[in-house]
Chains A and B, each alone.
Chain A
Amino acid sequence: MSLRQNTQPEKILIEGDRKTAIETGRNRLIVAGALFSAAFLVIGIRVVDVSIFSSHLEPRFTRSITKSEKYSGRADIVDRNGVLLATSLNTASLYANPRLVLDPEQAALRLSGALPDINIKMIENKLRGDRGFVWLRRHLTPRQQFAVNRLGIPALNFQREARRMYPLGQLGAHVLGFTDIDNKGLAGVERYFDKELRSRQNSLALSLDVRVQHILENELMAAMEKFDAIGAAGLVMNVDTGEIIGMASLPSFDPNQSGIIEGKLRFNRTTQGVYEMGSTFKIFTTAMAFDAGTATMRSSYDATNPIRIARFTIRDFRAKNRWLSVPEIFLYSSNIGSVKMALDVGIKEHRRFLSQLGMLKPVGIELLETGAPLSPERWREINSMTISYGHGLAVSPLHLVAGVSAIVNGGIYRSPTLLRHELGEPVVGKRIISQETSKNMRHLMRLVVENGTGRNAAAPGYFVGGKTGTAEKVSDRKYKRKALISSFVAAFPMQKPKYALLAMLDEPKGTKETLGQATGGWVAAPIIGSIVKRIAPILGFRAYRSGSGKQKTPSAKVTEESGQGQQVAAH
Chain B
Amino acid sequence: MRRTTLLWSVLSVAVVVGLFIIKHRVQDLEDQLHALNAEILADRDATQVLEAEWSYLNQPARLEALSRKLLGMKPPTADQTVTMEEFHLRMMLTDKNSTDALVLDQPSNSRIEPAQKSDHRVINKKLHVDRWAKPKITKIKNSE
- Residues of A at under 8 Å CB distance from B? 61-65, 71-72, 83-85, 87-90, 165, 167-169, 171, 210-211, 213-215, 218, 300, 322-325, 327-328, 331, 443, 446-447, 450-451, 460-461, 463, 493-495, 533-534, 537, 542-546, 551, 553-559, 569-571
Contacts and interface: CB of A to CB of B under 8 A. Distances in A.
Given A83-B55, A325-B140, A570-B63, A554 B44 contact: no
B34 A451 contact: no
Contacts, number: 142
23 contacts: A61-B30, A72-B48, A87-B48, A167-B55, A168-B60, A218-B61, A300-B140, A322-B142, A325-B140, A327-B137, A328-B139, A446-B135, A450-B135, A495-B132, A533-B75, A537-B76, A542-B81, A543-B78, A546-B134, A554-B126, A554-B129, A555-B86, A557-B116
Interface in B18-51: 30, 33-34, 36-37, 40-41, 44-45, 48-49, 51
Interface in B85-105: 85-86
Which 3 residue pairs spanning A and B have beta carbons closest together?
Answer: A543-B78, A570-B58, A214-B60
Contact of A446 (B81, B129, B132): B132
B109 to A, nearest CB: 18
A533 B139 CA distance: 30
B61 A214 contact: yes
Given A89-B49, A463-B133, A553-B86, 11 more contacts: A72-B48, A84-B52, A168-B59, A168-B60, A169-B59, A328-B139, A443-B135, A545-B78, A546-B134, A557-B115, A557-B122
A555 B114 CA distance: 12
A532 B85 CA distance: 25
A167 B48 contact: no
Interface of B: 30, 33-34, 36-37, 40-41, 44-45, 48-49, 51-56, 58-61, 63-64, 75-76, 78-79, 81, 83, 85-86, 115-116, 118-119, 122-123, 126, 128-130, 132-135, 137-140, 142-144
B129 A323 contact: no
A399 to B, nearest CB: 27
Q: Report whether over half of chain A's contact residues are helix, strand or loop; otherwise say mixed.
A: loop
B129 A556 contact: yes
B36 A495 contact: no
Nearest to A543: B78
A74 to B, nearest CB: 12
A88 to B, nearest CB: 7
Contacts of A534: 75
- Of B37, B52, B85, B115, the most chain A CB neighbours within 10 A belong to B52
Given A62-B34, A324-B140, A446-B132, A557 B83 contact: yes
Contacts of A323: 140, 142-144
A71 B41 CA distance: 8
A553 B123 contact: yes
A171 B142 CA distance: 52
A331 B85 CA distance: 38
A551 B83 CA distance: 11
B54 A84 contact: yes
A62 B126 CA distance: 70
B51 A84 contact: yes
B63 A553 contact: no
A413 B140 CA distance: 33
B16 to A, nearest CB: 17
- Of B36, B119, B137, the most chain A CB neighbours within 10 A belong to B137
A85 B40 CA distance: 24
Contacts of A570: 54-55, 58, 60, 63
Contacts of B79: 545
A327 B118 CA distance: 35
B116 A88 contact: no
A453 to B, nearest CB: 13
Contacts of A165: 52
Contact of B36 (A64, A214, A215, A537): A64
A537 B34 CA distance: 51
Contacts of B140: 300, 322-325, 328
A171 B61 contact: yes
A202 B127 CA distance: 49
B33 A64 contact: yes
Nearest to B53: A167
A214 B123 contact: no
A84 B122 contact: no
A49 to B, nearest CB: 20
A294 B61 CA distance: 49
Given A494-B132, A559-B115, A325 B59 contact: no
B134 A450 contact: yes
Given A84-B55, A300-B140, A324-B140, A555 B83 contact: yes
Nearest to A462: B78
A90 B45 CA distance: 7
B129 A460 contact: no
Contacts of B130: 546
